[in-house]
A and B are shown apart, each in its own frame.
Chain A
Amino acid sequence: MKRKINRSLWGNVIVIAVLTIVAIFMALPLVYSIMNAFKPLDELFLFPPRLFVRRPTLKNFTDLFYLMSTSFVPFSRYLFNSIFISFLSTLGHVMIASMAAYPLAKHKFPGSKFLFNLVVFSLMFSGYVTNIPRFIIMAKLRLLDTYFSLILPYIGATLGLFLMKQFMEQIPDSYIESARIDGANEFKIWWHVVMPNVKPAWLTLILFAFRDTWNDTYTPALYLHNEAMKPFSLALTYIQQGGFVRAGAAAAAAVLMMLPSLIIFILTQSNVVETMKSAGIKE
């Protein structure tokens, strides 16, 4: 973006002031939970709670590692389950949703409008409500207690489709037409023209999808009963349910749990900024 900066000094001051205030609001809970991980037990239960830790300790982490080493299922297994499930669900969701979004945005075949309305309406219907019927279907398909009970629903998930379709609609038709004249087939157009142009959108979508699958405790608890299949997020709630004694370990585990989302965030967001420089044809 080649924009000349012609803002006044005061403009800058105001921008930074507003952003700082809001940023503080946003960051508070995060800072609080990180601080918690380093608080000794007595400070954790202090009332009224204090934001900053006074006597930082690593005992919570050593407690956590002790717990990990004594647990029935090795912790590396929980971790593997989580990574496997989140990776495949995110990949499946992003790929299949963007594939379906392309014709919905750019082809307008008969029934495409109806399909899209279906997407919007299904978004409104909270997943919690259809839990029982969905459980019955999982049982009938013999998917219970498999990773696929968590991964496969993402193939039909609608949030990504909705987002991608809206973004793809903004791509000028001329890009696609010129690619078609140059002899590209539909798949090539999708992969080489459409997708690069909506890179900010799918990077954002990866972030959302990963966050949701990584932190999800509700669906795994519903569909997985075999301890060795369960993801890390569930293990975290088990530690949490250990009560007072485990509060420190739970706070430490919560911080560990944030790390993967953090990495994905850094990877995707650093890419988002640069995207528009390279993409885009001048008309």
Chain B
Amino acid sequence: MKNKKKLKTLAQRQARIGRLFVYPWLVGFLIFFAWPFIQSLIFSFSQLDVSPEGYKLIFVGFRNFIKALREDPNFIRYLFTEIGNIFVNIPLIIMFSLFIAILLNQKFKGRTIVRAIFFLPVVVMSGALLYVLESNSLEQFNIGAQSGMALSNSPFLRGIDFRLFLVRIMGNIPFLMPIINAIDRIYEIIWKSGVQILIFLAGLQSIPPSLYEVAHVEGATSWEIFWKITLPMISPIILVNVIYTVIDSFTDYSNDVLRYILEVAFRQLNHGYSAAIAWLYFLIIGVVLLVIIWVISKRVFYMNE
């Protein structure tokens, strides 16, 4: 018996130890994530009745799903708006945050201060603080929590109608509209890029400096260094950031679909139907994400390969 154990290959032994490292996380994941997950799947096929004694599930088959796709006037519309948004935002957010992260990674005077200014808002303001900022004025009576982006609720920023201003100076020319729309999104893009910039920055700093030294010795220009070293080395992080961006915007509280799911659950108290649209939504994001991962990961470079 003892001999047999020793005969195990290195890979097998590693596998065993590997699992050991994963277990603590796995236990937490199964209890607090996987189980609720399965429960909500069960909900989606049922009608959930809440009574003082507890809750009762009545199996209804696919009725909830059919209702979402055939009868519900809101779900599909919200869904397509969100997906459209994400395809415009992803490239803008990724390019912008990579650009800024590279700039912030340069050596210049006052770099620490500039970095601090960049990240402080992202780091410091979220949750309860944003809530206070949003509602800390008379505006709380006419916002009605309609606006898509949490920050545009901030009264100071709502005063600026950037889009109208742009249309006025550029004229209402059809082929300029995409540009105007893109500029109109600048604030949204900048605000949503904070985490991505941080991730890129951490990625840039994980590139071994020796690579740059070698490149310099070989006489490469900064331009060449960017395309031949920085970009390939950062490409896994680009994939990370794309996935993060997709997930972040699909699970953002200000997201129309999510708001609708919550409204169905907690206002209309239709938990079964809410679980069903949540699952539909989840499956669709899954497909979108898989396509994106598939397209990008073919171009990602790993140093070990």
A residues neighboring B (CB under 8 Å): 1-7, 12, 15-16, 18-20, 22-23, 25-30, 32-33, 36, 44-45, 47-49, 51, 96-97, 99-100, 102-104, 107, 109-110, 112, 115, 118, 120-130, 132-134, 136-137, 141, 152-158, 161-163, 166-167, 169-170, 172-173, 186, 190, 197-198, 200-201, 203-204, 207-208, 211-212, 215-218, 233-234, 236-237, 240, 247, 250-251, 253-254, 257-258, 261-262, 264-266, 269-270, 272-273, 275-277, 280, 282-283
Chain B window 260-274, contacts with chain A (Cβ cutoff 8 Å), 1 for yes, 0 for no: 011001000001001
- How many Å from the CB of B140 to the closest CB on chain A? 10
**Contact indicator B209/A2 (Cβ below 8 Å):** yes
- The distance in angstroms between the C-alpha atoms of A203 and B262, with both chains bound, is 34
**Contact indicator B27/A169 (Cβ below 8 Å):** no
**Contact indicator A153/B32 (Cβ below 8 Å):** yes
Q: Is B170 an interface residue (CB 8 A)?
A: no
**Contact indicator B15/A109 (Cβ below 8 Å):** yes
Q: Closest chain A residue to B128 by CB distance? A: A233
**Contact indicator B209/A276 (Cβ below 8 Å):** yes
Contact of B206 among A26, A201, A247, A264 (CB under 8 A): A201
B residues neighboring A (CB under 8 Å): 14-19, 21-22, 24-37, 39-40, 43, 100, 103-104, 106-108, 112, 114-129, 131-133, 135-139, 151, 154-157, 159, 186-187, 190-191, 194-195, 198-199, 201-203, 205-210, 212-213, 216, 222, 233, 236-237, 239-240, 243, 246-247, 250-251, 253, 258, 261-262, 265, 271, 274-275, 278, 282, 285-286, 289, 302-304
Contact of A200 among B206, B243, B247 (CB under 8 A): B206
Could you tell me the dominant secondary structure of chain A's interface residues? Answer: helix
CB-based closest 10 A-B pairs: A156-B28, A103-B18, A215-B127, A155-B28, A109-B15, A133-B39, A156-B29, A133-B36, A107-B18, A100-B25
Residues of A within 8 A of B206 (CB): 167, 170, 197-198, 200-201, 276
Residues of A within 8 A of B208 (CB): 276, 280, 282
**Contact indicator A15/B121 (Cβ below 8 Å):** no
The answer to whether A27 and B132 touch (CB under 8 A), given A155-B27, A170-B303, is no
The answer to whether A129 and B275 touch (CB under 8 A), given A1-B212, A19-B104, is yes
**Contact indicator B210/A282 (Cβ below 8 Å):** yes
- How many Å from the CB of A164 to the closest CB on chain B? 11
**Contact indicator A265/B123 (Cβ below 8 Å):** yes
Residues of A within 8 A of B129 (CB): 33, 215, 236, 254, 257-258
The answer to whether A51 and B36 touch (CB under 8 A), given A44-B137, A156-B27, is no
Contact of B156 among A1, A28, A257 (CB under 8 A): A28
**Contact indicator A27/B117 (Cβ below 8 Å):** yes
Contact of A49 among B17, B37, B137, B186 (CB under 8 A): B137
Contact of A128 among B43, B139, B253, B286 (CB under 8 A): B253
Q: Number of A-B pairs whose CB atoms are under 8 Å?
A: 332
Contact of A217 among B127, B133, B265 (CB under 8 A): B127
- How many Å from the CB of A27 to the closest CB on chain B? 5
- The distance in angstroms between the C-alpha atoms of A254 and B133, with both chains bound, is 8
Residues of B within 8 A of A118 (CB): 29, 34
The answer to whether A126 and B250 touch (CB under 8 A), given A23-B114, A170-B236, is yes
**Contact indicator A3/B216 (Cβ below 8 Å):** yes
**Contact indicator A26/B132 (Cβ below 8 Å):** no
- The distance in angstroms between the C-alpha atoms of A277 and B100, with both chains bound, is 22
Ordered by A's residue number, 20 sampled pairs between the chains whose C-beta atoms are within 8 Å are: A29-B156, A48-B159, A100-B25, A103-B18, A107-B15, A107-B18, A123-B247, A123-B251, A124-B251, A124-B289, A137-B35, A152-B31, A154-B28, A156-B26, A163-B199, A215-B127, A233-B128, A247-B137, A257-B129, A276-B207
The answer to whether A163 and B240 touch (CB under 8 A), given A32-B133, A103-B21, A129-B40, is yes
**Contact indicator A26/B212 (Cβ below 8 Å):** no
Contact of B126 among A211, A273, A282 (CB under 8 A): A211
- The distance in angstroms between the C-alpha atoms of A76 and B122, with both chains bound, is 26
**Contact indicator B289/A120 (Cβ below 8 Å):** yes
Contact of B108 among A16, A36, A44, A127 (CB under 8 A): A16
